[in-house]
């Protein structure tokens, strides 16, 4: 293990131990086992036998998912990547076209090792390369035919952004005009209702098929679902088996997914609303600290996740955050990366969940200022990224470090560990 590995291990341990965050860190195995042992989602008979190659509690999850999304049926998949590949393969067979219209920043393109091409033999075309969803005009103007339009809701890479409802409906209509089907990559669809002002079933009803994740927003162990017409989903189950997704027992994932649907799904609108409070407070804190350039994007978050850009090195920001977490038990942000475009800036992703609801705007603004001040000291000392950097940052002083409040972002600001 290198010094850099040791430093990151220390950082992660410090972030996980922080008492005040905007979203929880990954739990320990013992904590996860304890929660699994006490999971009691309503209506689930825990005295039933475990599932065997689907059925049982997995079937209950599929029925509940289809009901929530207003679809005829839904199939559970062990990973979202598999669900996406199966959906696009099935539509390719049905439409007679192996061309998928997507976005170059889509999860399909960035985080799945080109599985759509390497494994499934598909090809993508891009109506736009702008860091936003394609417009109806761009879909209509695409210079070659395609069989499926895939829309990611929200788009993570550009900042968890969503189109307006009318824009989304127009894009779907444009695809239909070109005799294409529409598939929603809805891994984070659950938290889109606030922005759209529509229920899940109405949103999902625009598409021919929808993929949703059970761990990204709902806190499940793992797993995903593919929902749509009954005949399509039945075909997807056959391809799920061929892709290696016919798992012997999946009751732990199904149980925690059902718990997430019961516990977290109703809370997501409150997380979205508070994310907007946090975003505004961060802007106020950075401005008060005299940061020469910063960006909180989107200005008004579309979901409970958004980006923060600051003009400091990623290592300095992580060192500063680690030092503050060690001293005060607060963790403002976790992972930072330097994308290189624009140069001189670092970016992180912020997620607001249950722990963040306790933070006031004043708390967040104060901690934003404390982090910026500490990051400046780290850069001035020239110790950013050194094994002793966090300690050196702590020795530089603690003025402005609030001990009562913190805001936290998720770790995946860099390459996503994805299923």
The pLDDT tens digits along the chain (419 residues) read 677 889 999 999 999 999 999 998 888 999 999 988 888 888 889 999 999 999 999 999 999 999 999 999 999 999 999 999 999 999 999 999 999 999 999 999 999 999 999 999 999 999 999 999 999 999 999 999 999 999 999 999 999 999 999 999 999 999 999 999 999 999 999 999 999 999 999 999 999 999 999 999 999 999 999 999 999 999 999 999 999 999 999 999 999 999 999 999 999 999 999 999 999 999 999 999 999 999 999 999 999 999 999 999 999 999 999 999 999 999 999 999 999 988 999 999 999 999 999 999 999 999 999 999 999 999 999 877 765 554 444 444 333 333 333 333 333 333 333 45
Per-residue model confidence as pLDDT tens digits over 57-105: 999 999 999 999 999 999 999 999 999 999 999 999 999 999 999 999 9
Per the structure block, which two tokens stand in for 57? Answer: 């509690």
**Number of domains, the chain:** 2
The DSSP secondary structure of 111-140, one letter per residue, reads: SSTTHHHHTT--EEE-S--SSSPPPHHHHH
User: Is the same domain home to 64 and 18?
Assistant: no
User: Is the same domain home to 57 and 129?
Assistant: yes
Q: For the chain, give the mean pLDDT.
A: 92
Dihedral sign of CA atoms 145, 148, 154, 155 in order: negative
Residue 253 within a domain:
no
Per-residue model confidence as pLDDT tens digits over 297-347: 999 999 999 999 999 999 999 999 999 999 999 999 999 999 998 899 999
User: Is the same domain home to 137 and 210?
Assistant: yes
User: Is the same domain home to 16 and 96?
Assistant: no
**pTM of this structure:** 0.90
Q: Give ∠ CA 291-294-297 in degrees, rounded to 5.
A: 155
Residue 16 within a domain:
yes
User: Is the same domain home to 292 and 195?
Assistant: no
Distance CA 58, CA 251 (A): 6
Q: Which of 255, 11, 209, 204 is nearest to 91 (CA)?
A: 209
Residue 348 in contact with residue 297, Cβ under 8 Å?
no
Per the structure block, which two tokens stand in for 341? Answer: 């475009």
User: Is the same domain home to 55 and 124?
Assistant: yes
Query: How is the beta sheet containing 305-310 ordered, strand by strand?
Result: 295-297, 305-310, 346-351
Structural domain that includes position 92? 51-248
Last residue of a domain, one of 216, 248, 280: 248
| Residue 58 backbone phi and psi in degrees, to 5 | -65, -40
Quickly count: other Cβ atoms within 10 Å of residue 269's Cβ: 13
Dihedral sign of CA atoms 282, 192, 171, 90 in order: positive
- Judge if the upstream peptide bond of residue 236 is cis by omega within 30 degrees of 0: no
User: Is the same domain home to 56 and 194?
Assistant: yes
User: Is the same domain home to 195 and 297?
Assistant: no
User: Is the same domain home to 20 and 67?
Assistant: no
User: Is the same domain home to 240 and 320?
Assistant: no
Burial of 385 per CB tally in 10 Å (0-12, 13-18, 19+): middle
Please report which helix (H) or strand (E) contains residue 348, including its range.
strand 346-351
User: Is the same domain home to 143 and 291?
Assistant: no
User: Is the same domain home to 329 and 281?
Assistant: yes
């Amino acid at each position: 293990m290198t010094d850099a590995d040791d430093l990151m291990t220390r950082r992660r341990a410090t972030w996980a131990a922080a008492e005040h965050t905007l979203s929880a860190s990954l739990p320990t195995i013992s904590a996860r086992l304890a929660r699994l042992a006490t999971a009691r989602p309503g209506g689930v008979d825990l005295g039933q036998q475990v599932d065997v190659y689907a059925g049982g509690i997995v079937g209950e999850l599929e029925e509940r998912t289809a009901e929530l999304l207003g679809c005829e049926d839904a199939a559970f998949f062990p990973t979202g990547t598999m669900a996406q590949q199966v959906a696009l393969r099935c539509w390719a067979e049905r439409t007679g076209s192996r061309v998928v219209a997507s976005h170059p920043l889509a999860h399909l393109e960035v985080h799945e090792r080109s599985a759509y091409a390497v494994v499934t033999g598909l090809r993508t075309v891009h109506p736009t390369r702008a860091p936003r969803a394609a417009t109806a005009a761009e879909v209509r103007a695409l210079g070659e035919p395609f069989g499926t339009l895939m829309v990611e809701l929200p788009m993570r890479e550009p900042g968890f952004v969503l189109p307006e409802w009318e824009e989304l409906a127009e894009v779907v209509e444009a695809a239909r005009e070109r005799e294409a089907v529409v598939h929603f990559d809805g891994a984070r669809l659950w938290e889109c209702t606030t922005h759209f002002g529509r229920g899940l079933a109405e949103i999902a009803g625009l598409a021919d098929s929808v993929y949703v994740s059970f761990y990204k927003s709902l806190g499940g162990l793992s797993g995903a679902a593919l929902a749509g017409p009954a005949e399509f989903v039945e075909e997807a189950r056959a391809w799920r088996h061929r892709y290696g997704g016919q798992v012997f027992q999946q009751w732990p994932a199904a149980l925690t997914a059902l718990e997430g649907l019961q516990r977290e799904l109703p809370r997501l609108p409150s997380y979205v609303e508070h994310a907007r409070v946090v975003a505004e407070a961060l802007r106020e804190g950075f401005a008060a600290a005299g940061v020469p350039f910063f960006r909180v994007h989107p200005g008004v978050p579309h979901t409970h996740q958004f980006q923060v850009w600051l003009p400091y090195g990623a290592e300095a920001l992580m060192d500063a955050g680690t030092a503050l977490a060690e001293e005060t038990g607060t963790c403002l942000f976790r992972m930072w990366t330097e994308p290189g475009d624009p140069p001189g800036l670092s970016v992180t992703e912020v997620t607001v969940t249950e722990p963040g609801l306790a933070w006031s705007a004043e708390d967040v603004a104060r901690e934003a200022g404390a982090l910026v001040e500490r990051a400046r000291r780290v850069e001035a000392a020239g110790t950013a990224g050194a094994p002793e950097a966090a300690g050196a940052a702590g020795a530089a002083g603690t003025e402005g470090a609030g001990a009562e409040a913190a805001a936290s972002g998720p770790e995946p600001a860099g390459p996503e560990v994805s299923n």
